[in-house]
Amino acid sequence: MFFVRGCGKVTEILVVFTGGTIGSRQNGAVVDVDSGTGYALLERYRESAGALAEEIRFETAQPMTLLSENMTPAHWLALVRCLRGWLEAEPERFAGAIVTHGSDTLPYTAAMLGYALADVRLPVVLTAANRPLEDPRSNGLRNFAAAVDFIVDAALPGVYAVFENDRGEMPVMLGTRMAEARPFDDQFAPPYGAPLGHMLDGRFVPHEHAVNPPVAALRAVRKPGLPPERLGFTTDIVYIRPYPGLDYGLYDFERLPRRPAAVLHGLYHSATACSAAAGAYESSLPAFAARCAALGIDVWLAPVKAADSARYRSAHEIAEAGVRGLARIVPEAALVKLMAAYGTYPGRDPESVREREAFLARNVFFEHHEGGDW
């Protein structure tokens, strides 16, 4: 489905408000969500968009209003139900959907929607703001306008995010390739610093890079990433990041009445973690993984390098110990993928394990990048 500017045809876009800074107001020193701010955003857009505003019609939904740091898997399921309910009821009605969201957990929700809506045949674009809309320094209106432009101009099916950077550029990122915004400057940095493209003067300009999928691949028909009727996201995942002196003895899973289904273990930037034992504390990842295996707890690493890449000795030792990895994926997308895998396909029976591992092995919506040095 393509839409042409200036043709007089009205383009309808679904806008789903969830809260976040883009849906907040500041009262003194406190910033908090306000259920009416989303609608004020639409008014600001209509006032600023000129003639284009006459060609755009918005349908709105507000399944939740919260700061994104309070987002939970239950909210994710409500968001998926909302989007599928609107988009599947009248498949030809909308050109796309925009989800306004807080920036703190934007990468997690974007990855979640990338998996849950991989088969949707129109663009779903998440966006946020660095400051409340009433603050003159806010990029919220520009981000929203860029999301509208992306839907109208690119019309690429799938899940994406737009967020203006500190250079005044408007990168477009795949929903499954977002790391958390950096502290101090609030910037989102995609792998290799290579966004999918940029919005420039209302047009989508793809960024040619070895890790980016071609536009033709984005337009290709995709099967559902997860069965909608069984979709679930477990909270039984523990995420551990390495640091010097990490003592696995503190993770005393043997004594817990409720044990995790799996552990996601991060790695240093060179895809390494400690493989050596130390006398004063338990620091060996292979030993920790063996202890978890004895308890029926799976341990996954992310991001690991491709099997044919040169790796440090410690990485080889960890792999030789049987610790499995999710290759070429940002940790945020890896964590959500595990939450989806163990939530949708729970249990240790052979069929659940087969379905779970088949999902984890699939490249659902380009979360595992090709090309590059990894």
For the chain, give the number of residues: 374
Nearest to 327 by CA among 267, 243, 283, 263: 267
Residues 6+ apart with CB under 8 A from 159: 110, 113, 114, 117, 118, 120, 123, 124, 125, 126, 174, 175, 176, 365
Helices (H), 90-213: 106-116, 140-153
Helices (H), the chain: 37-48, 73-89, 106-116, 140-153, 215-219, 285-294, 313-320, 331-344, 350-361
Nearest to 51 by CA among 5, 97, 98: 5
Count, in order, helices (H) and strands (E) of the chain. Answer: 9, 14
Whole-angstrom distance, CA of residue 157 vs CA of residue 251? 42
Query: What interhelical angle do 350-361 and 331-344 show, nearest 10?
Result: 150
Q: Which residues pair with 203 in a beta bridge?
A: 200
Nearest to 344 by CA among 223, 226, 235: 226
Whole-angstrom distance, CA of residue 360 vs CA of residue 319? 18
60 is catalytic: no
Q: Which position has the token pair 């551990």?
A: 240
Contact status, residue 123 vs residue 14, Cβ threshold 8 Å? no
Query: Could you tell me the two tokens for 244?
Result: 């010097």
Whole-angstrom distance, CA of residue 198 vs CA of residue 150? 9
Q: Out of 21, 37, 234, 344, pick the active-site residue.
A: 21
Whole-angstrom distance, CA of residue 299 vs CA of residue 287? 11
Q: Which residues pair with 11 in a beta bridge?
A: 56
Instruction: Return the amino acid letter for 142.
Output: R
Active site residues: 21
